[in-house]
Structure 1
Amino acid sequence: MPAAATPPNTSSPPPVAALPTQPPTEQPRWTFLTNHAHVLVLLWQNPAMIVREVARQVGITERAVQHILAELENAGILQRTRVGRQNRYHIETSVPLRHPIESHRTIGELLQLCARTQHT
């Protein structure tokens, strides 16, 4: 028995799915720097920034920022000073970066590289 011929497809082809795009306000899924580095950069640029604002700008929780601050303080990278009801942060810029690949560079060199404006 011969196969029945199928009629030609006269309908338009199915639409091509658009590639998903990332809305401008959405955080990227990964970055080259860690959250620890992001926290350091923000506090270097504004030593009086509150934890809530650091968390908002980095895109993590306030608790995560507090954990990072404690780790940086315990590592001798960050000093916290109470000024009234707020904290003021001082970063030890002469501390070398921790990984052997970049240990020939300092925290200060990384911060200078990442700064939006010249830090004085």
Structure 2
Amino acid sequence: MSRKPSGKPAAAPWTFLSNHAHVLICLAQDPSLRIQDLADRVEITYRAVQRILDDLEAAGYLKRSRRQDDARSNEYKVNTSLPLRHPIEQHQRVSALLALGKVR
């Protein structure tokens, strides 16, 4: 970790969206991403992605299935009709979040 001139560690960069949102956006863009590829894109650990996938699947935001062409790999289906989870955003659907990922 880099240090500021004061000798204190530099603060980690912050983002507007959670890692859960980042994983969901990535999978909506490419449903056959491997866990390691997700970890690399979101810049978190493999294990963190596994936990996020478990959370999203348990809450119904994601459905995991084996790929037809490669039984060793998963394919993901995002449920775009569910509301966002935080009370401030719960009037919006996942589809609104995913629309953000399309802006480039």
Give me the TM-score of the superposition, normalised by structure 2: 0.83
- Partner residue of 1:74? 58
- Partner residue of 1:102? 89
Q: Which amino acid aligns with 2:42?
A: V
Secondary structure of the structure 2 residue equivalent to 1:79: strand
Alpha-carbon distance in structure 2 between the residues aligned to 1:85 and 1:100: 38
Larger C-alpha radius of gyration, 1 or 2?
1
- Partner residue of 1:58? 42
Q: Which amino acid aligns with 1:73?
A: E
- Partner residue of 2:31? 47
Alpha-carbon distance in structure 1 between the residues aligned to 2:91 and 2:21: 17
Give identity over the alignment, percent. Answer: 51
RMSD over aligned CA atoms reads 1.6
Give me the TM-score of the superposition, normalised by structure 1: 0.72
- Partner residue of 1:91? 78
Aligned residues: 92
**1:67-118 Cα distance to aligned partner (Å, 9 max, x none):** 000000000000000121100000000000011111110011110122257x
Alpha-carbon distance in structure 2 between the residues aligned to 1:109 and 1:47: 18
- Provide structure 1 residue ranges, at least 5 long, that are not aligned to the other structure: 1-18, 21-27
**1:30-54 Cα distance to aligned partner (Å, 9 max, x none):** 1000000000010000000000000
